[in-house]
Each structure stands twice: as structure tokens, then as C-alpha cells.
Amino acid sequence: MQQKQTDENVRAALNLGHEHGVLVSAEGVGEAAQGEPKVLVTMGSDSDLPLMMKAVDILRYEFGIPCLVQINSVHRDLRAAVQHIENLPASIQVVIACAGGAAHLPGNIADLRADLPVIGVPRDLGALKGIDALLSMVQMPEGAPVAVMAIGDAGAVNAGIHAAKEVAIGDPAIRERLQVYAEKRKGKVRRQNETLEEKIKG
Ligand code: RP5
């Protein structure tokens, strides 16, 4: 009961209605989530969500960083997107923005929020294999930078890791988790070498 009250207080303080996003942490989603969101994970459509969950999941499970997840379409409802981005909770330190096609969302956010780093994840919509979104994001004119990741799954995961690195600048606990994550990756190479002779023998 007390936890529920605390969660409600957090949501009230963050001013989160459904329209303003869903809080996600390692503990759960929405009312089950805990902590203040440090990263906004936003996208142009919920069709981008399966891709963006790769960023959300690495943030919450690998690094313990709560996120706010929000749909913002600068093609379908520009005014609502501006309203959301201008009124983010003060705890947000980094924005991850995904879109496909003529992907204007990350660049628009970089202009709206001079105070926040923006990481762009280009999505492959099929016709141009994501090159359209990649070029739309990476070719930002001078003054409103977007840190653009790779197209697709690797880009989404790397966006989560890059956002964690930004949060880690002011949080030694996250720095440690980044080191643990790096050690796990080294372990993978060690294990592959251990089984290499057997694999070559076939
Ligand atoms: C973009 O258009 C979205 O970010 C999405 O990648 C793409 C297609 O959206 P839906 O038609 O699937 O809603 O704005």
C-alpha cells in the first residue's frame, strides 16, 4: 500500500498521464516501475516499439536505469510532440529517438532541447533499407547535433549503452555496471576461443 502511494507520488511529481509516456524500470512497467526516469526513449509510431524495446531492456536490466517511453510523431501530431518534449520530467538526462523513412524526430528534439543529448536510431522501413532514416538523422546542419547509431537492432542496443554512458558521467554506480558489461563481452571471446579447436575439427 505504501509502495503504491509512493509510486503515485512519483507519477504526480513527474506529471505523467498516459499521454505523457509510460515509466519502465527493472521492477516493471507503469505503476510497477520504480525510480525517476533518466532516459527518454521516444519513437514516431508504436510500430517502432519492438526495435526500441532493445534499448529499453538493456537500460533497465543491464544498467538499472529507469526510462520514460513515449510516442511522438512529428509527421502526424507535431504540436503534441513539441508539447511533450518541452515538458519532460526534469530527471531526464538523455533522449533516444527512433524513426523510419524521412526521420525528422531526433533532429527536431535536438533543436527543441538544447540542454539534452539526443541519440538517433534509424529504422529500416523496407523501401530504402533504412538508409533514408540514417541520412535524415546524420546529415543534421550545424548547431543541433544528433548522435546517430547503426540501422536496426545493433543501433537500438548501442543507443541504450551510449545513453548509459551519458548517465554514468554523474553516477559512479552506472560506471561500474558498464565495466561489468564490458567484462561479459570479453568472456564471450574467451569462451569462443576455448571451443574453437572442437569447432574446426567439426
Ligand atoms: C515514422 O514512420 C515512424 O517512426 C515509423 O518508423 C514510420 C512508420 O510508421 P507507421 O506507419 O508504422 O505508424 O514516423
Interaxial angle between packed helices 105-112 and 131-138, expressed in degrees from 0 to 180 and rounded to the nearest 10: 20
Question: What does the pLDDT read at residue 19?
Answer: 64
What are the CA-CA distances from residue 170 to residues 3, 31, 164, 180 (Å)? Answer: 27, 27, 11, 18
Give residue 193 CA to ligand 1 midpoint distance, Å.
Answer: 42
Q: What is the widest separation between alpha-carbon atoms in the chain?
A: 62
Domain ranges for the chain, please list them.
2-171
Read off the amino acid at residue 189: V
Low-confidence ranges of the chain (pLDDT < 50): 1, 5-6
CB 106 within 8 A of CB 81: no
Q: Is the CB of 130 under 6 A from ligand 1?
A: no
Question: What does the pLDDT read at residue 153?
Answer: 97
Interaxial angle between packed helices 105-112 and 78-86, expressed in degrees from 0 to 180 and rounded to the nearest 10: 40
Q: Pairing mode, if any, of strands 67-71 and 22-25?
A: antiparallel
Question: What does the pLDDT read at residue 81?
Answer: 96
Q: Is the CB of 73 under 6 A from ligand 1?
A: yes
Annotated binding-site residue? 45: yes
Q: How far is CA 181 from the centre of its chain?
A: 17
DSSP state of 174: H
Read off the amino acid at residue 188: K
Three-class secondary structure of residue 67 per DSSP: strand
pTM of the model: 0.91
| Class in CATH terms, 2-171 | alpha beta
Q: What whole-number distance in Å separates Cα of residue 107 and Cα of residue 95? A: 11
* pLDDT per position as a tens digit, 17-59: 556 799 999 999 999 999 999 999 999 999 999 999 999 999 9
Q: Is the CB of 49 under 6 A from ligand 1?
A: no
Name the residue of 41, 46, 47, 70 whose CB sits within 8 Å of the most ligand 1 atoms, as the mutation to test its pocket.
47
What are the CA-CA distances from residue 175 to residues 35, 54, 186 (Å)? Answer: 18, 20, 17
